[in-house]
A and B are shown apart, each in its own frame.
Chain A
Amino acid sequence: MLNYDFDWSVLWRAPYGAMFARGVLTTVHLSLLAWLLALVLGACVGAIRMQPWPPLRRLGGAYVSLFRNTPFLVQLFFWYFAAPLLLSESGQLWLYDNVPDYAYWAGVLGLGIYTASRVAEQFRSAFFSIPRDQYRAAFASGLTSIQAYRLVLIPYAFRLALPTITTEFLTCFKNSALAMTIGVMETTHTASHVEAFTSHGLETTTAASLVYLSLAWTVIAAMGAVERRLRIRGLLARRR
């Protein structure tokens, strides 16, 4: 016996339709910005961890172990509640008055920095999984160290890392839902907000799930296209 009247119109009727549209849009640009940060920062940290100079390597290692081994939720709270306290009181006031929607930027920063720690590891493991022969062959052909990395090893590692990087990209979208805990009105927060007003949680939750599902498909399709485009015949030709 189901004692529940479905009313799917809560997803589009005013004012909820506009709320959902804004929420989905927020999820998309928050995640994309965070992803951009994660890629750049992750590549840098991954590269630092490959350097021959130990202090630099240790710095990269410290970054990864700090941000990969603490809960993302705690990190979000840190960026939203605690990090601004490091500024002076007037600095804090300036921040809140001049940065519109500080919670949003704390979310971008937190998600980007967290994801970067994971991306860095993917890059590093990709470098390590390049067969030693490739290094030797590159140097044996008379390439300098920089040339060997630029022409042989980085393109190779990037292709090796792509599938796992795709997974990180998907996770980045899904993790963005946690930004609701610091008040960002993204998809999940909007769904629970509309539920609070309408008591139609089944519909809003289903809609939110479908949003994440379609975002994931889009990312998979896009990354698949990237993978196909960058494919080098004979190198990673293990596709069906």
Chain B
Amino acid sequence: MKRRILVIAGGLMVLVLLMGVAYRANAEGILEKIEKTGTVTMGLREGAVPFGFIDEKGQWVGFGVDLGEEIHKALEAKFNKPIQLVKKPMDPKTRIPLITSGAIDIGIGSTTITLAREDVVDFSLPYFLTGTRLLVPKGSPIKDFPDLAGKRVGMGSGSTANINGIDQAMAAGLIAPPCEKVLFDEHNKGFLALQQNKIHAYFTDASMLAGMKAKAEKPGDWEIVGRYLTYEPYGILLPENQGEWRDFVNAALVRTIKSGRYQQIYDKWFGPKGQVPLAMSGEFTMLLKALSYPE
């Protein structure tokens, strides 16, 4: 018995140590590391239309990919030499561990800036603004959040900002009796469940819903309904305590916005002819104006 306990204790220690290695922090500045190694490792979404996804030709494209390319160009301009861009897939489950472990230097997906996340990672300036709404089949009796009373509502299990939002709405009595939360580890599984009537509505960021709708076999069969339940400002994921790197990313972001390049990229993906037509809200436009810092 005693030996058994020793073996187990030893095993657990090895486990913790291994995980500790995975969580090793980057001691050196990331900018110096990029200059020294000539590579930058970027986390991007693989299945989130249009933020980052694999297109019909098998290319890894999207709004976040284009934005990342701008930052990559700014890096090459700064160091005056070619920098290799290494792309790594990330999803709502893996994005925070990937940053904290140092596996990626920067993560551009569709990550809402939250105070809880600020405890473990850093964010760039908010570069995208959306809000949470509902995706329902066309003609559904669900028109807004109060109609969710007693219904089954799908959402992403890694989307903590969304879950907190709907929990608060239920606590405040906006949805009474409360709806049943059905959690999916990927949005596309949730959409499949919605198509199969397993859930009555899918709840997440409007930008994401627009992507799901655009990717559907018949986009006309679906509608996005409801008020903005919460505002979701997106930020670029960065490691903690990397001030210089964060300043650099922010400056690149501000210059991309000021030069009009940001608008071009937005229109490419969200414009009327884009993959996911989504008109920029007034608040969003205002956010971009506020971000146009002088040189």
Tell me if B's interface is mostly helix, strand, loop or mixed: mixed
Q: Could you list 27 examples of A-B contacts with CB < 8 Å?
A: A1-B24, A1-B27, A3-B24, A3-B25, A4-B20, A81-B196, A96-B152, A96-B197, A103-B182, A180-B185, A183-B183, A183-B189, A189-B157, A192-B93, A196-B92, A196-B93, A196-B158, A197-B160, A199-B100, A199-B116, A199-B117, A199-B119, A199-B120, A205-B19, A206-B12, A209-B15, A213-B8
Besides A183-B182, A199-B100, 16 more A-B contacts (Cβ < 8 Å) are: A1-B27, A2-B24, A2-B25, A3-B23, A3-B100, A3-B240, A81-B196, A96-B198, A181-B185, A183-B184, A183-B185, A196-B93, A199-B116, A199-B120, A206-B12, A209-B15
Residue from the list A2, A183, A185, A192 in contact with B20, Cβ < 8 A: A2
Asked if B192 lies at the interface with its beta carbon under 8 angstroms from chain A, I say: yes
Residue from the list A4, A93, A181, A198 in contact with B197, Cβ < 8 A: A93
Instruction: Return chain A residues, CB-CB under 8 Å to B240.
Output: 3
Residue interface mask B187-202, A partner, CB < 8 A = 1: 0010011001110000
Question: Which of B's residues lie within 8 Å of A, judged by CB?
Answer: 8, 12, 15-16, 19-20, 23-25, 27, 92-93, 96-97, 100, 116-117, 119-120, 152, 157-158, 160, 182-185, 189, 192-193, 196-198, 240
Asked if A202 lies at the interface with its beta carbon under 8 angstroms from chain B, I say: yes
Given A1-B27, A102-B198, A206-B15, are A193 and B20 neighbors across the interface (CB < 8 Å)?
A: no
Question: CA of A96 to CA of B19 in the docked complex: distance in angstroms?
Answer: 41
Instruction: Return chain B residues, CB-CB under 8 Å to A85.
Output: 196
Question: CA of A85 to CA of B192 in the docked complex: distance in angstroms?
Answer: 12
Tell me if A's interface is mostly helix, strand, loop or mixed: helix
Q: Please give me the residue from chain B that is nearest to A181 by CB atom.
A: B185
Asked if A84 lies at the interface with its beta carbon under 8 angstroms from chain B, I say: yes
Asked if A201 lies at the interface with its beta carbon under 8 angstroms from chain B, I say: yes
Asked if A92 lies at the interface with its beta carbon under 8 angstroms from chain B, I say: yes
Instruction: Return chain A residues, CB-CB under 8 Å to B157.
Output: 183, 189, 192-193, 196
Question: CA of A48 to CA of B16 in the docked complex: distance in angstroms?
Answer: 47
Do B197 and A92 touch (CB < 8 A)?
yes
Instruction: Return chain B residues, CB-CB under 8 Å to A1.
Output: 24-25, 27
A189 CB to closest chain B CB (Å) equals: 7
Instruction: Return chain A residues, CB-CB under 8 Å to B24.
Output: 1-3
B98 CB to closest chain A CB (Å) equals: 12
Do A197 and B185 touch (CB < 8 A)?
no
Instruction: Return chain A residues, CB-CB under 8 Å to B182.
Output: 103, 183
Instruction: Return chain B residues, CB-CB under 8 Å to A192.
Output: 93, 157
Closest 4 CB pairs of A and B: A3-B25, A199-B120, A4-B23, A196-B158
Question: CA of A192 to CA of B160 in the docked complex: distance in angstroms?
Answer: 12
Q: Please give me the residue from chain A that is nearest to B114 by CB atom.
A: A197
Interfacial residues of chain A within 85-119, with CB under 8 A of chain B in the complex: 85, 92-93, 96, 102-103
